[in-house]
Amino acid sequence: MEVAVWDTYVRRKDGRIMHFDIIVPAEVKDTAQIFAYGRAYLQTKGEGEQPLDSRHCRFCHLERARPEWEKAIREKGYAIFGMENCD
């Protein structure tokens, strides 16, 4: 499966910057839906009120999906790959 990787940076309530990727099937182009996926992830981290829009999230590249991403995409339509300050 080919996926689109959306590079995302959001300032947490404590001031640190969260860096994570929103992974969606390559054919998904609706930015409102992609941002909604990012906001849903932020909710799970207690950061749901933090802004997430085109200033914070941009298309980065296409790549082959990792097995764990494919599983998440089958289950909920997207995957998240946390990189910095996502704990």
Using the Cα atoms of residue 37, residue 50, residue 62 and residue 79 in order, give the sign of their dihedral: negative
Predicted confidence at residue 32, as pLDDT, reads 96
Residue 62's contacts (CB-CB under 8 Å, 6 or more residues apart) are: 2, 3, 4, 5, 26
Predicted confidence at residue 77, as pLDDT, reads 97
Please write the tens of the pLDDT for every residue from 26-48. 999 999 999 999 999 999 999 99
State the pTM of this model.
0.95
Please write the tens of the pLDDT for every residue from 52-72. 999 999 999 999 999 999 999
Predicted confidence at residue 28, as pLDDT, reads 97
Domains detected in the chain: 2-84 (3.10.510.10)
Q: Is 75 helix (H, G, I), strand (E, B) or coil?
A: helix
Residue 32: CA count within 13 A, CB half-sphere: 0
Q: How confident is the model at residue 80 (pLDDT cuts 50, 70, 90)?
A: very high
